[in-house]
Each structure stands twice: as C-alpha cells, then as structure tokens.
Amino acid sequence: MIRALIADDEAPAREKLSRWLGGIDDIEVVAQCTDGIAAAEAIEQHRPDVAFLDIQMPALSGLEVAAQLEEANAPLVVFVTAFDEHAIKAFDLSAVDYLLKPYDKDRLLRAVARVRERMDATGAKASAIAVARAQAQPNDRLLVPMGEKLQLIDTATIDWLEADDNYVRVHAGNRDYLLRRTLQDLLTQLGTNRFVRVHKSAAVSIAAVQSLAPLFKGDYELTLRTGHTLRMSRRFKDELFARMGR
C-alpha cells in the first residue's frame, strides 16, 4: 500500500481528494491536515510515502513544509494549487507532480501513476526538497519540536547550532531545541547568509558573535551575545572573518 497524506485548508478540496484516493486499491490515506504546521507534524508522525500539499495554506505554505523536511525521511511530494504560477514552480521543483485546481479524476490518476513510478527513484525526494528551499528563501522561520508538537521560531533568535550524533541542538537565547537533522542539512536549509561553521560540530549566527579572542595554534574563542563561549578551529576562521568584514 502507498500511504498518503493530504494537506489543504479547504474542506471540500480535502474531502474530494480523500474520496478519490480512497477509491484507489493501493492507496491508503493516513492523515488529513488543514495547515502547514499540522502537515509537518503528521509527516513526522505517520511517515507517509507521498504528501499531497496545497501550496497556499495558513501558518506554513506547502513549499515551506517541503523546505523543512529532512531528505532521508521525506515523502514524495505532489503539490496542489489553484494558481498557475505556483504550479509551474512546483513542476520545476522536481516534485513528483502537481495538481492544478480544479482537476478531474483522470488527472489525479496520472499523478498517482507517477508516484508509483518514482517510489524507489534515487533523488526523487531530495531534488524536490532542495529546490523548495531555494524557492522558499529567505528562510526566516524554522520548525522546532515543543513536546509532541511543532512550532515556528524566528531564525534571527538562533545563536548557534551544535551537532549531536544524528541530531542538531538549536540554541536560541535560553531555549534549546533538538532536531533530528544533520548539521550540514540544517545549514543548507537556513542558508549561508546568517550562519557559518566554526567547528566540524558547530555553527554560529554571525549576528550572535560578540567578540573573538586568539588562542594557541590559530584557534579562537568566540563569545556570543548570550555570554556563551565556543572554540573556533583555525580551519574555519577565514570564512568567519570574511563574513564579518575583518
């Protein structure tokens, strides 16, 4: 069975898609969501094979939901939209397909057929996520776990990122959030305009750096706006200095 998730803030659109998908023998609808944050939570909880994401949704758009996904655990993506310009973008995302509202059942069946074809295709998930991140830039918000829920935080509040095995600990003021991501994957999503790596297992917000002090053998000690100190390896100092205009 192909496990499918539907995310659309319009009830009639959700009901139609659920009814038509439910009539396909090898499709099981495992979740229906009314906004982008709920969709991201449901993707984490249910791990569907394919997500039908409406591009225009409250809180978080379908593009932003795709941009927040981790490639290793992401579903295939079919974007649903009532706007031609968004449909063109979705197609360019290397998403599995897009459905332009109002679509008929034959068009949906063609999208499902493409899902079946790409279930095991190498790169089918990664390419959609990579370009979704590019389309969603500037990425000023990050989904982080709060108990069993997810919430959006402003990336400007993040001070530094700490790799912890297959997780990243996001330090934002007096709050820490643990994400099941790699550091490189998260930096790719957040972009290089705000964050820079200072160690193989740490990256900082450039705006959070308050002062630098030289240590032995070319290393530096960074003091952040929170008062926290980090050691910067000499192999990363040139990039930070260039970005800070030193």
Helix/strand/coil for 17: helix
Which residues, given as ranges, of the chain have pLDDT below 70? 136-139, 246
Other beta carbons less than 10 A from residue 244's beta carbon: 11
Cα–Cα nearest to 41, from 60, 55, 56: 60
Q: Is the peptide bond before 102 cis (omega within 30 degrees of 0)?
A: yes
What per-residue confidence (pLDDT) applies to 120? 77
Amino acid 232: pLDDT:
93
Determine the pLDDT at residue 76: 92
111-136: per-residue pLDDT in tens?
999 999 988 777 777 777 877 777 76
Predicted TM-score of the model (pTM): 0.81
Per-residue confidence (pLDDT) for residue 138, from 0 to 100: 58
Sequence-distant (≥ 6) Cβ neighbours of residue 118 within 8 angstroms: 76, 96, 124
- What pLDDT sits at residue 50? 95
CATH class of 141-244: mainly beta
Structural contact between residues 34 and 9, judged by C-beta atoms closer than 8 angstroms:
yes
Q: 181-220 burial, b for 16+ CB within 10 Å, e for fewer?
A: bbbebbbebbeeebbbbbbeebbbbeebbeebeeeeeebb
Q: What is the largest CA-CA distance in the chain?
A: 68
pLDDT score at 114: 92
Q: Where are the domains of the chain?
A: 2-135, 141-244
Cross-strand partners of 28: 3
pLDDT recorded at residue 33: 97
Span 2-135: which CATH code? 3.40.50.2300
Separation between Cα atoms, residue 76 and residue 119, nearest integer Å: 8
Q: Which spans in 49-138 are helix H?
A: 62-68, 84-92, 105-118, 124-135
Report the alpha-carbon distance of residue 159 to residue 207 in Å, rounded.
Answer: 8
Question: Would you give the end-to-end CA distance of the chain in angstroms?
Answer: 57
The one-letter amino acid code at 203 reads A
